[in-house]
Chains A and B, each alone.
Chain A
Amino acid sequence: MFKRISIPYILVIFILSQSFQLMAQGRQYTLYGYGQVDFSASSRKGSTSGFDQRRINFIGEFFPAEQMRVLTDIEYEGGTNIDAGNSSYSGAVKISRVWLEYTVMPELKIRAGKMLTAFGLYNLIHDASASYFPLEAPIMYSMFSFSPNLKPQRLYSKYHIGIELLGTFDLDDTGSQLEYSVGIGNGRGAKADGTDINNGRSFYSRMIYRPSILSGLQIGSSFYYDRNYEGLGGIQNDLEYTYAFDLQYENNSFQFQTEGLITNYKTIDNTRQSTGVWYAQLVYNMFDVLSPYINYSAILFDIKNSEHGFSRTNLGINWSVSPYLYLKSEIQFHDAEEVLGDESFNVYKISAAFAF
């Protein structure tokens, strides 16, 4: 219990102390981050409404040597109510990211450590809602339970412990670029001490193409593969892979995004199954202050048999109070099947998202 309470504070004090030392030595240390506070209410029977101290993340970054960068990210999620009097507590404190990056050239950087998996439009900014218009990332990035007795999981690994190669190629003199990330690591499944639970490696890749012919357009693809210790379909150490595509166009007035993914995995009756998720989102930017948006998502748990799935529609508005503070309000229309219930329901959310 003492370890749970003291470790985050020790880490923060350590990072701050290192920052003072680095500043004294003339090396640049930057501290920044983001946070979010929500209120939600639901029409679902038996649900409660309330405020949620959603998260706050402290990111520290410094340059220990030429062409090298270190980033650390400490996250407080879901509250920080740690009661010294007993063993119960709410919320979680974790080191979300810690990596070292070396730049060989703009086309090749090497990262090692714990990082967010480069997957889709949102995983690298997964929890930082100050960096996007909607209140939350699309459901494609959520956890799903494939049957009532299976643990909810994402269709890829949110975090990656391993090595990543990344870079950007300038394709011509007009500004077209190709950005890539490829990584190899531990994959899903970890022991209590954070080490890999099985011997399977994960592999992922992400490519983004930005053509100069239309400024604001980007087209991307992502791929993730690993031996999932707790397989999506209940098969331990299942070989699972996920393909995804994405498209985004934005200008001063609009932002349009669409993404889709297909995940392939084995089920308990020893057959392979594919699950597909897709969404489209449109934002309209009014006077650079108010941005109403609509988001439609759909998931099919078994594409071949077109069975068992649900859709969700979100309508919301984002108010840019300042470049670093956003107030958001959203209504979510949920299908009954999303919670294996009998009735559809709505969720109402208000959020304050900030970056510093």
Chain B
Amino acid sequence: MVFYLMLFNMSVLSQTIIVNKANSVDGLSKAELHNIYLGNTSTWGNSKQIIIVDYIADNELRKNFSKDYLDLSPKRVSMIWIKASLSGKTVPPKVFHTEDEIIRFVSENEGAIGYLSKPRELPESLKIIRVR
């Protein structure tokens, strides 16, 4: 019983990472995702600018993502983003309220990366990538 509860919690906490279909990346390691979302990596392997897409700071999904992948709270991550973008290292991240807004933005921008709460039917312009 405890085992199944733990498994349920793990599946609730894991997020579905999405990128534009034109992006050649099929998977990322947890470390690579960590470096992308903290602004340490600013371009994809094909030299296109990475556009980080995220939710507003008090969104529960963002809190879980920050805990799972970044080991920092959303507010701390926001300060790191401010530093990275004002220094010229990265472009400022795009922040939205809902999954639909994120889906729309990522499908329209080749360099964008975002995440959803769970797998769902997506437009053809998007794809889900695995996290190793």
* Chain A residues within 8 Å of B, Cβ to Cβ: 28, 30, 32, 34, 59, 61, 63, 66-67, 69, 71, 97, 99, 103-106, 109, 115-116, 124-125, 128, 130-132, 168, 170, 173-175, 177, 179, 210, 212, 215-216, 250-252, 285, 288, 320, 322-324, 355
Contact = CB atoms under 8 A, between A and B. Distances in A.
Given A125-B86, A128-B82, A322-B57, 9 more contacts: A32-B86, A116-B88, A130-B82, A168-B41, A170-B32, A210-B40, A320-B75, A323-B78, A355-B86
Contacts, number: 104
19 contacts: A59-B86, A63-B49, A67-B47, A67-B48, A71-B88, A125-B83, A131-B79, A131-B83, A131-B87, A170-B35, A175-B31, A175-B34, A175-B35, A210-B40, A252-B73, A288-B75, A323-B74, A323-B75, A323-B78
Interface of B: 29, 31-32, 34-35, 40-45, 47-49, 57, 71-76, 78-79, 82-83, 85-89, 91-92, 109
A95 to B, nearest CB: 14
A211 to B, nearest CB: 11
A103 B86 CA distance: 19
A324 B74 CA distance: 12
B79 A252 contact: no
A168 B44 CA distance: 11
Given A63-B49, A125-B86, A323-B57, A251 B92 contact: no
A173 B82 contact: no
A251 B71 contact: yes
B76 to A, nearest CB: 6
A63 B78 CA distance: 23
A252 B71 CA distance: 7
A252 B76 contact: yes
Nearest to A69: B49
Contact of B32 (A61, A175, A324): A175
Nearest to B84: A131
A174 B75 CA distance: 25
Nearest to B41: A168
A32 B72 CA distance: 24
B79 A212 contact: no
A215 B40 CA distance: 12
Contacts of A104: 47
Contacts of B29: 173, 175
Contact of B47 (A103, A130, A210, A252): A103
A109 B35 CA distance: 18
A81 B81 CA distance: 32
Nearest to A67: B47
Contact of B86 (A131, A173, A179): A131
A61 B91 contact: yes
Nearest 10 A/B pairs, CB to CB:
A175-B31, A323-B78, A124-B87, A131-B83, A103-B47, A128-B86, A131-B82, A106-B43, A355-B82, A67-B47
